[in-house]
Structure 1
Amino acid sequence: MLGSLDWTPASDRPDLLAAPVAAAVRDVPDAYVAPIDPALADTAEFCAHYDVPLEASANCVIVAAKRGGEVRYAACMVRATDRADINGVVRRHLGARKASFAPMDEATSLTGMEYGGITPFGLPEGWPVLVDEAAAVLPQAVVGSGVRGSKLLVPGKALAALPGAEVIALAQA
């Protein structure tokens, strides 16, 4: 296991997960959860405090893609050491004229998750989940749990196996 955290099988601690996340990870093999200080949920602070390598963390960002007055949402997963190419790769992949980070209030209300804890597990049905190739091959990836007070630990292949997941070269060069 990674860092100085007390990892427990996620199915044993649904109280540490947002409701949609608890339902989504119930059957994910090798999914673990650990409580953290909510004030340390942001990736850099979390990694430094809990001795988790930054390259073992993956961030989930919610993107609002717009075309012809229609807004479509998607999740993008990249390693914490990388940045998703929202205005290039993501915009083109989603067939949008414009793509940007979804405003915080939209991202939290649409996902049912807390800002700083958003994860690709338990997203609304039909949302594309774009997973960067480097995140998909991580042996263990630390991701959000839907709340700021915990983190999930899953194999990268679990990200690639999510409903609606597509593994692509997502990180900016």
Structure 2
Amino acid sequence: TGRGLEARMTPCLVPTTSPLGQLEGGTNMVVLEGDSVGQIVLRGAGAGEGPTASAVMADVLDIARGNSMPVFGIPANELAAPEPAAASVPAAYYLRMALQDKPGALAKIATVLGDAGISIDRMRQYGHTDPTAPVLIVTHKTARDALDKALEAMEGTGVLASQPVAIRIEDV
């Protein structure tokens, strides 16, 4: 793409209506997207514990016998690293945090997000009896680096009762 290559393997939230959200059992899936081809979904049965263990042991035996081949057919020191995408592909994020239950705490968090150019899509604060208030926030799409800066700035507000959790929401 014009943005470069982006590859990611990380926990994320997906809509239950997406192909990834409908996976069950030992099924594996890879979703590829390209400007010209759109979305391609590859889906199939996973190998399972027996076949996987057999493949791992075969690799260990090959290495022990000195029969190892470079992973991509070329020694790693001869491979060129792919150029990363110019900027991360924007995504919405789910944020979960516990705030000190005092006036203005939520306003400070909203200000930090706004100062970072991050807009709140929705927010929920649950009832509580502790001196901390659990807060859930879903952002509009934003770059990960902007979110990381906001999360770092939140630490200086004095209202966090615990480290925030941020999980990417994939729109697939």
Sort the TM-score into its range (normalised by shorter chain). under 0.3
TM-score (norm. length: structure 2) = 0.27
What is the TM-score of this pair, normalised by structure 1?
0.27
**Based on CA coordinates, which of the two structures has the bigger radius of gyration?**
2
